[in-house]
Structures are given as C-alpha cells and as structure tokens.
C-alpha cells in the first residue's frame, strides 16, 4: 500500500514576497491604461488574487477555463476550452495568469486562441515553471519560481481537486 505525504517546497512568505516583486515589475513595464488579467481556472485563482493586489495600477480581471489534465498527474495532451472569457480583449494589454507551466501544451494553445482576438499585447505570468518538462514552447514574460520535475500542490494547485487551499507550495510524495 502507498500513502502520500506533503513536503513544503516554497513557504507562504516566499510566495508572497515573490508576488510583490512580480507585481511591481508588471506595474513598471506596462504602458498607460488598464492591464487585463486573464486567469486560467481553477488553479490560478489564488495567484490572480494576490498578484492583482500587488499591481499598483488599474487592472481588469476575467477567467478562462481550459482542461488538459483531468485527474491524472501527467498530461493527456488534449486541450479544450471549457469556459470562455466574458468580454472582448481586442486592443487590450492582456496578461495571462497561470499557476504552473509544465509541458507547455495548455499555454501554447491558449496563446494561439487569444492572439486571434487581436489584443494590443499578450504576455504570460506564471507562478511556477518546470522547464525540464516542456514539449511545446512557451515564452513567459514573468515567472515566479523555476522548480524541478516534481508534482506540486497547494496555493491553487491540486491533485484530483485536493490541496488547493494549502498556503505553501508542497511536493506530493508517495511513501511506503
Ligand atoms: P501543461 O499544459 O502541461 O503546461 O500543464 C499546465 C497545467 O497542468 C497547469 O495549469 C496545472 O493545472 C497542471 N499541472 C502541471 N503540473 C502540475 C503540478 O505539479 N501540480 C498540479 N498541477 C499541475
Ligand atoms: Mg490542475
């Protein structure tokens, strides 16, 4: 029988400190006008809430739903839009807010979809990046932390819909 254990990889204080840095950097980088934050459901909601408050500028927020994983720990390679944005992004400075870039399949797909809607600019802010797992290219302008190839949960990230409400980012380890 196997049991699972949690090991803290990035504690709450480090997450929050890094998000304050990212928010300041984003606020400096963008031209006049609101920044249109588009969060990918559901994992990025926690990051969106903290990042939006770290950007000392007008922002708009919206949500998009994409499924690529189901309940498995590895990508099915299949991506579909499960919920579209509520509003148009034409002419807007769009910043996609994502919890983690793993294979890159999700963001590579979403970037293509949103590019066709003619935003003024389109960039990615990802809290975590696992570059060693990439199979599709993704150019993220803002990355919180690069992490090794380990399955993580907490701060929005789930395993089979569990653990999203942990304050720290933890590695989910199988023991025994
Ligand atoms: P990608 O399409 O492979 O880049 O996967 C991106 C999505 O997979 C993320 O939005 C997460 O929902 C999920 N994912 C990837 N790695 C992890 C992980 O370590 N923990 C939890 N979810 C993950
Ligand atoms: Mg997920």
CA of 32 to the centre of ligand 2 (A): 33
- Ligand 2 mean position, distance from CA 167 (Å): 16
pLDDT score at 135: 94
Report pLDDT for 27.
Answer: 98
Q: Which pLDDT does position 169 carry in this prediction?
A: 98
Q: Which residue has the tokens 């579909």?
A: 80
- Taking the chain (176 residues) in runs of 10, the rounded mean pLDDT of each run is 86 98 98 96 97 97 84 63 96 98 95 97 98 94 97 97 98 83
Residue 67: the pLDDT is 81
DSSP characters over 25-47: HHHHHS-SS-EEEEEEETTTHHH
Give the integer Cα–Cα distance in Å for 150 and 108: 21
Residue of 50, 99, 102, 168 marked catalytic: 102
Q: What is the pLDDT of residue 78?
A: 73
Phi/psi of residue 141, each to 5°? -70, -35
Query: Element (H or E) spanning 18, and its range?
Result: helix 12-29
pLDDT of residue 176: 65
Pocket test for ligand 1, best of 149, 157, 169 (most atoms within 8 A of CB): 157
For a pocket test of ligand 1, which of 64, 66, 69, 149 has the largest count of ligand atoms closer than 8 A to its C-beta? 69
Q: Is the dihedral of CA 105, 18, 146, 172 positive or negative?
A: negative
pTM summary value: 0.94
């Amino acid at each position: 029988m196997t049991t699972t254990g949690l090991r803290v990889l990035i504690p709450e204080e480090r997450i929050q400190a890094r998000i304050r840095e990212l928010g300041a950097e984003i606020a400096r980088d963008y031209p006049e006008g609101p920044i249109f934050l588009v969060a990918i459901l559901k994992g990025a909601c926690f990051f969106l809430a903290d990042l939006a408050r770290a950007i000392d500028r007008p922002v708009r927020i919206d949500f998009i739903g994409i499924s690529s994983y189901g309940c498995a720990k590895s990508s099915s390679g299949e991506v579909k839009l499960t919920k579209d944005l509520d509003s148009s992004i034409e002419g807007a400075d769009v910043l996609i807010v994502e919890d983690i870039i793993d294979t890159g399949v999700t963001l590579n797909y979403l970037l293509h979809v949103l590019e066709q809607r003619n935003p003024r600019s389109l960039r990615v802010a990802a809290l975590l990046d696992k570059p060693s797992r990439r199979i599709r290219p993704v150019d993220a302008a803002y990355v919180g932390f690069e992490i090794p190839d380990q399955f993580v949960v907490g701060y929005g990230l789930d395993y089979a819909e569990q653990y999203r409400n942990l304050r720290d980012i933890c590695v989910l380890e199988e023991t025994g």
